[in-house]
Every structure is written in C-alpha cells, then in structure tokens.
C-alpha cells in the first residue's frame, strides 16, 4: 500500500473509532480511545476536530464508509452529535448573555468598544465553547449535504423536536466562515469561505 493511500486508511480507521466513540460519549465524562495498544485522551473538541478534518478531506469509498457510520443503529451517532450541539449551544447562549451585559455596561459608562475589544470578546466566546460549536455545526452541514436522506432527516427532526432552527446553525456557520483562515493566505481563506457557504445553501 502506497504512502498516501496508507495514510488515508489510517485516518479513516481513526475516524471510524472516533465516530463510534460518539455513541458512548456522555456529558462531563472524558473517555479513552484505544487503538493498537495506544491510549489517547479524548475530549469533545478532539473528537469534533478529527471528524471535521475527515469530512473535509476524505473522498470516494473512504468518505462513504465514514458517512455510513452515521446511519448505523438508527442513526445513534447523529443523536450523539445533536446532544453535543445543544449542550454547547446552551453554553454559548449563556456566555453571549454575559458578554452582552458587559458591553451594555461599557456603553453606559461611555467607554468605546474598539476592534481590539471586540477581538477579545470573540476569543472569550471561543474559549467558552464557540469553537467546538462551530465544528459541530460544520459536521452537521457536511453530513446533511452528503446525499444520505436518513442523516438529513434525522438532523432536521431533532432540531424541530427541540424547538430549534436551521437558522441558528446557519448563523453560527456564517460567523465561522467570516473568521476562518486567520494566519492563512487570502486564496485559502476565500476557498474555505466559499466551500462553507456552499454547504449552507443546501442545508
């Protein structure tokens, strides 16, 4: 097996393990991913980062195999993904409420909220869980655009059951696209932004 192909299969194997791990994830618990006698400490951020990377880069049969994991056992991996979505959405709404209150107090005191201050607020939001929430929304958009009706229907069904909306997911992803590629060249930034916005159109 060639170097590139072997690397792709290794990534896919890791991705399948990570997706299976999502079926076992529960709030406030950290789990161990066991692979070839190696132990890796796994957090939701790591799980979502790996999944987002796999969905962004895998093609053909490897991508199909990964997507099929989301349909197994009555789409239980989709259910776990949505659990994480609502958990981090709740955390972000609480963080945004606090930051909005601070901004209101600053304006009332006559203080100016400049670009540096806005950047600081944004970094605080990322630390509070926005980064993971953005990754989750990206994963949702990828799997809903994969031409697998079962996945798309399950995501929309859960959103409706919880009284949520696709508009919220789109807003989060638009903000993600606007801030993506920091430190990268302009061509990379524009390419990634276009790809994310294209996903949004069909979400």
Residue 151 and residue 17: Cα distance in Å, rounded? 19
Cα–Cα nearest to 44, from 59, 57, 27: 27
- CA 156 to mean position of chain CA atoms: 16
Given a cut of 90, is residue 18 above it in pLDDT? no
Query: For the chain, how far is it from start to end, CA to CA, in angstroms?
Result: 37
pTM of the model: 0.79
**Per residue in 101-159, pLDDT tens?**
999 999 999 999 899 999 999 999 999 999 999 999 999 999 999 999 999 999 999 99
Q: Which residue blocks in 41-71 are alpha helix, DSSP H?
A: 44-57, 60-68
**Per residue in 38-82, pLDDT tens?**
434 567 787 888 888 889 888 888 888 889 889 988 998 899 899
pLDDT of residue 43: 74
Given a cut of 70, is residue 2 above it in pLDDT? no
CB count within 10 Å of CB 108 equals: 8
**Per residue in 146-196, pLDDT tens?**
999 999 999 999 999 999 989 999 999 999 998 886 556 788 888 888 889
Question: Is residue 159 a contact partner of residue 165, using CB atoms and an 8 Å limit?
Answer: yes
Q: Which two tokens stand for residue 133?
A: 């929430």
Mean pLDDT of 94-105: 94
């Amino acid at each position: 097996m060639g170097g590139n192909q072997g690397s792709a299969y290794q990534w896919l194997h890791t991705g399948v393990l990570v997706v299976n791990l999502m079926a076992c994830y529960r709030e406030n618990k950290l789990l161990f991913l066991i692979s070839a006698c190696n132990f890796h400490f796994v957090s939701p951020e790591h799980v979502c980062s790996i999944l987002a990377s796999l969905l962004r880069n895998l093609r053909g049969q490897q991508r199909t195999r990964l997507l099929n994991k989301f349909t197994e056992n009555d789409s239980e991996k989709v259910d776990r993904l949505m659990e994480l979505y609502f958990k981090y959405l709740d955390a972000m709404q609480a963080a945004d409420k606090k930051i909005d209150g601070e901004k209101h107090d600053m304006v009332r005191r006559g203080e100016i909220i400049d670009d540096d201050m806005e950047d600081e607020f944004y970094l605080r939001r990322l630390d509070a869980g926005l980064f993971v929430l953005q990754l989750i929304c990206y994963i949702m958009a990828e799997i809903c655009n994969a031409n697998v009706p079962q996945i798309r229907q399950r995501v929309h069904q859960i959103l409706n059951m919880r009284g949520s909306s696709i508009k919220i997911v789109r807003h989060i992803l638009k903000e993600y696209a606007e801030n993506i590629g920091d430190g990268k060249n302009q061509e990379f930034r524009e390419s990634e932004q276009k790809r994310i916005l294209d996903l949004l159109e069909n979400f």
